[in-house]
Chain A
């Protein structure tokens, strides 16, 4: 059955990003897929108050605000999920006794906002120069009433779906899977599955999301490298 916006089942929406769009923070990025748009501001590493500090690593704080309405428990879940994901990827031991604050603002939500939030966070951390073990790319997938699995679901598609899954993968894992490693052997750094689904559904979504994450990662790398290339030329003088 054709999707409302005529995309293929394995086709993600048009991607757009802006790096460094906010001036008062150390790093920022906006990440959009179709109409879903999320931006992230990163502050730090900064000194943290003595009672909050960890002696051997940076403390990571995440705040997520939805596009509309008051923030609720679902947003707390996104916060702890993002924190858990990036706590592993940020090389926090490099900045003991400091704080890294990640503030995510969903600007517009037309589905798959949590994946966009993770992608925006990766780009904002890179923009801020926070040391990372790897980049993280995320994608979502929905299993519809007729059993079809579609990537990057819109709000409408997700609302009518039987289950919705979001996966995030580390860059090197994506690379390994891409070059012929057995798929299914790559652990995602983040998974969120909601609804009624079978193991087969999960596996299908996993595969689709891994491939989508590959494209997202390529896009993010190109965007970042492009910016550096331009600005390296400028700062030579």
Chain B
């Protein structure tokens, strides 16, 4: 990510501060910034969510849409499962740095990160339930993430937003029938029920993980680094933890140096330790967001609505 350039004096101030337990904004080393979560803002998607991690309306801001499509099975593909396809893009309308080739690299990196965490069985989703007719048809879930702003901690916002979008995803019901044709051969056929009331959530969505990113700064590490803290980070580790308190994925990023093995295990232990709190926080935010489902959000002072069509 186009990194902030800081003067040596600024860097020293931040690093020494972190080592003494003082982060620039007064947070403790394991404190996350304010998280804002909204769901249901993309009506054409099967599920959608927007997550911002930061403070006072400024922060890393990611919008995720989930679209389900029926695919025809082809030889070589898994015979009794559906699939998940991830795509992450940084929107150029959000920042000038998100234009051109620089953005391509970032997009690829983030797509791989998301894919590793939620792109398959490891996500907790029951892919078998996404199969419609074995060797014939299955659901593909397209997870499309749009990065609107980056102020440190992209991986976390990406995973939180994706978990929320998948939890909010509703698939239409599919009716499968056996049809016998004139020559007596029985075939399976399916029909997608077009009824907004008759939809189901994704099996296993409750098992989706959350992620926390740990940045090593000096001799300590912090959770949810700010933009300035990212600029003095030596190494960082994103740890995805499932609600069953299992580690699903670990991804290292932005390396200037490697991690000492002892630090690695310390960080993963810390990730497990804070996971309970993180899930509790997520659940509270998600419940709140679901109540306002679909309502267009954001600071009311900048938004206007004419609700009556005219």
Q: State yes or no: do A and B touch (Cβ within 8 Å).
A: yes
**A residues bordering B, Cβ < 8 Å?**
7, 11-25, 28, 32, 34-35, 37, 39-41, 43, 63, 65, 68, 101, 103-105, 107-110, 215, 219, 222-223, 226-227, 230-231
Smallest CB gap from B305: residue in A:
A16
B275-310 toward A: CB 8 Å interface, digit per residue (1/0)? 000000000000000000000101001111111111
10 contacts between A and B (CB under 8 A): A14-B307, A15-B305, A18-B298, A22-B95, A25-B94, A35-B44, A41-B95, A63-B93, A107-B42, A226-B304
A41-B93 in contact given A23-B58, A230-B301 (Cβ < 8 Å): yes
CB contacts (< 8 Å) of A41 on chain B: these are 91-95
B306 & A14 in contact (Cβ 8 Å cutoff):
yes
With a CB–CB cut-off of 8 A, which chain B residues contact A19?
A: 302-303
Select which of A16, A65, A101 is within 8 A of B304 by beta carbon. Answer: A16
Q: Are A12 and B309 in contact (CB under 8 A)?
A: yes
> Which B residues are CB-close (under 8 A) to A68?
67, 144
Give Cα distance in the complex from A227 to B304, angstroms: 9
List chain B residues, Cβ under 8 A from A104.
93
CB of B91 within 8 A of CB of A65, answer: yes
List of A residues within 8 angstroms of B310 by Cβ: 11-12, 215
Question: Does B309 lie within 8 Å of A108, measured CB to CB?
Answer: no
Q: Within 8 Å CB of B306, what residues of A?
A: 14-16, 219
Who on chain A is nearest to B142 by CB?
Answer: A68
Q: What separation, in Å, do the CA atoms of A41 and B95 have in the docked complex? A: 8
B149: Cβ under 8 A from any A Cβ: yes
List the B residue with the shortest CB-CB distance to A28. Answer: B93
Contact B303 A16 (CB under 8 A): yes
Per-residue A-contact encoding for B142-166, CB less than 8 Å = 1, 0 else: 0010101100000000000000000
Which residues in chain B, 86-102, are within 8 Å of chain A measured between CB atoms? 91-96, 99
- Residue of B with least CB distance to A29: B302
Q: Please encode chain B, from 97 to 118, with 1 for each CB lying within 8 Å of some chain A CB and 0 for all others.
A: 0010000000000000000000
Choose one: B96, B144, B298; the contact of A21 (CB below 8 Å).
B298
Q: For B94, give the chain A residue with the smallest CB separation.
A: A22
- Besides A23-B57, A219-B306, 16 new A-B residue pairs in contact (Cβ under 8 A), listed by A number: A11-B309, A12-B310, A14-B305, A17-B305, A18-B298, A18-B302, A19-B302, A22-B148, A23-B58, A25-B94, A39-B93, A40-B93, A41-B94, A103-B92, A105-B92, A108-B42
Q: Is the beta-carbon distance between A227 and B42 smaller than 8 angstroms?
A: no
From A13, A105, A219, A227, contact of B93 by CB (8 A)? A105
Check B91 against A105 for contact (C-beta < 8 Å): yes
* Bound CA span A104–B99, Å: 12
Residues of the A chain whose Cβ atoms lie less than 8 Å from the Cβ of B91: 41, 65, 103, 105
B178 part of interface (Cβ distance < 8 Å): no
Judge if B43 is at the interface, Cβ distance under 8 Å.
yes
Which of A13, A17, A24, A68 is packed against the most chain B CB atoms within 10 Å? Answer: A24
In angstroms, how far is the closest chain A Cβ from the Cβ of B147? 11
A14 to B67, CA, bound (A): 24
When the two chains form their complex, are residues B44 and A108 in contact, meaning their CB atoms are under 8 A apart?
A: yes
Please determine whether A101 and B96 come into contact, CB atoms closer than 8 angstroms: yes
Query: Max chain A CB contacts within 10 Å: which of B63, B148, B302, B310?
Result: B302
Please give, as numbers and ranges, the residues of chain A lying within 8 Å of B92 by CB-CB distance. 41, 63, 65, 103, 105
In the complex, the answer to whether A17 meets B42 with C-beta atoms within 8 Å is: no
* Chain A residue at minimal CB-CB distance from B151: A23
Do residues B309 and A14 form an inter-chain contact, with CB atoms below 8 A? yes
Say how far B286's CB is from chain A's closest CB, in angstroms: 22
By a CB distance below 8 angstroms, the chain B residues around A223 are: 304
A65 CB to closest chain B CB (Å) equals 7
Residue of B nearest to A230 (CB): B301
> Which residues of chain B have C-beta atoms less than 8 A from A21's C-beta?
298, 302
Q: B96 and A25: CB pair below 8 A?
A: yes
- Min CB–CB distance A114 → chain B (angstroms): 16
Are A25 and B144 CB-contacts (below 8 A) given A108-B44, A227-B301, A230-B301? no
For the complex formed, measure the closest distance between the CB of B207 and the CB atoms of chain A, giving whole angstroms: 28
The answer to whether B303 and A17 have CB atoms under 8 Å apart is: yes
Bound-complex Cα distance A21 to B93 (A): 11
In the complex, what residues of B have CB within 8 A of residue A20's CB?
302
Q: CB-CB < 8 A to B309: which residues of A? A: 7, 11-14, 34
**Complex: how many Å from CA A65 to CA B29?**
39
Q: Which residues of A contact B43 (CB under 8 A)?
A: 35, 108, 110
The minimal Cβ–Cβ distance linking A195 to chain B, given in whole angstroms, is 24
CB-CB nearest 7 A-B residue pairs:
A41-B93, A103-B93, A223-B304, A24-B95, A18-B303, A105-B93, A103-B92
Output the least CB separation between B259 and chain A (Å). 31
- Chain A residues whose CB sits within 8 angstroms of the CB of B308 once the complex forms: 14
B33: min CB distance to chain A, Å: 15
Instruction: Give the distance in Å from the alpha carbon of A103 to the alpha carbon of B103 in the complex.
Output: 14
Nearest B residue (CB) for A225 = B304
A14 CA to B305 CA, complexed, in Å: 8
Contact call A222/B301, Cβ cutoff below 8 A = no
What residues on B are CB-neighbors of A15 within 8 Å?
305-306
Mask for B17-45, Cβ within 8 A of A = 1, else 0?
00000000000000000000000001111
